[in-house]
Structure 1
Amino acid sequence: MTEQRTIRVVLVDDHHMFRTGVRAELSSLDGPTGQHLEIVGEAGTVETATAVITAEQPDVVLLDVHLPGGNGHGGSDVIRACMGVQSRSGLPVRFLALSVSDAAEDVIAVIRTGARGYVTKTISAEDLRTAIVRVADGDAVFSPRLAGFVLDAFGAAAGEVAEIDEELDRLSAREREVMRLIARGYQYKEVAKELFISVKTVETHVSSVLRKLQLSSRHELTAWAMGRRLL
């Protein structure tokens, strides 16, 4: 008998009726796949979303890109505010954008900030459920025509791939290990425990990585790593 796995989900959209509909659709789709989706919270603004995500520690957040509140950047503000939050399974909370917009600037902005995927509200309930499961498993998911925006933005051209390799070559093997863990949302103490090094050494490596990659924060580092499929 297949063991049932529960994926905890938070719905973030400023339209209450839309959240109600998504909740009903997803709840009706539980079947014999061994994957149960549990909606553990809802929110309609940047501030309430940040509070619910921090409190509930879900596996996946279904996130609209246009939300009131915050600094005026909608879903991107939520991702930035919750970048270090881990799910109750110990993995970083993962974000799947679900929006009516299919504009390239919206897709690129939220992916650069750290979302694992982007689907439009024309998606079927079955496909949305599959997308949530895939994101929970660490995959990247996009509606078909949106994938091209992401490839263009993050350098699918050979010349840009070479540039990415050059950037990685600046890092030592240990710095790459630290970079990946920090980008996944690990705290310094957790990185130190994982790699059997001191917290001070972790801090030194992070400073070196940020300097070599010309980044200013761990949030930028996470977006950099996700854009290069390094997580």
Structure 2
Amino acid sequence: MRNTPDGNPMHWTPYLTALAFILGWGFGGWSTCGASCRFNVNLFEAIGTWLGGVGVAIAAGIFTLHRYREDSRNESRAAISTAHLCTLRYTLKPEKTPYQDRVHIQFTNKTSEIIGQPSLHIAGGKVLRRDTIVAPGRGWGTTVYLSDLGIANIQPHNSNTKEALNQAKRLIVFEFDVRNRRFLRHLERVYSSSEAPATLLASDDNKGRQPQA
């Protein structure tokens, strides 16, 4: 079936369905009584009423389907908008040495939504932390040694910490749910789980998934 100008073949569905019912009824009636058939006003009115009911039912079904799709699109747009607000903060910290040898990764839920199944992992590598939810207004995160990320410790009095933080940001992936939709954030990009590059997934998630060309 060719699409209508708006690309939606469902535009013709009510008409084709009604035509099929009329042709089917006509053939059925003819095959039953043959040439002896006569026009019956009452029967004709009953069939018209029946076809009208069928048309209303079809129209109601199409409206319901359209409404469902529109609600789903609105829900998806709202989830994506919230996902873009879910950002991370990176802070270098010293432990018991004069070196800055750890990076603290912090997510603060500044949205009005519950953020589900938060997870931090190294791109293509191990998971650093998983949790269940982050309620609105609450913070969540973890602290990682720079050496575990393959980054050299920051020397005392070295003010050039920006590169170390940038290296950490390039390695870390934040994964989370918004309204039962899964998202990944890497640097400034937000991906739906199904569209994220395979190189950004955790090592466990990469198992069985074909690399993207």
Shared fold by TM > 0.5? no
* TM-score under structure 2 length normalisation: 0.24
Which structure has the bigger radius of gyration? 2
Task: Determine which structure has the larger helix proportion and give its number.
Answer: 1
* TM-score under structure 1 length normalisation: 0.22
Task: Determine which structure has the larger strand proportion and give its number.
Answer: 2
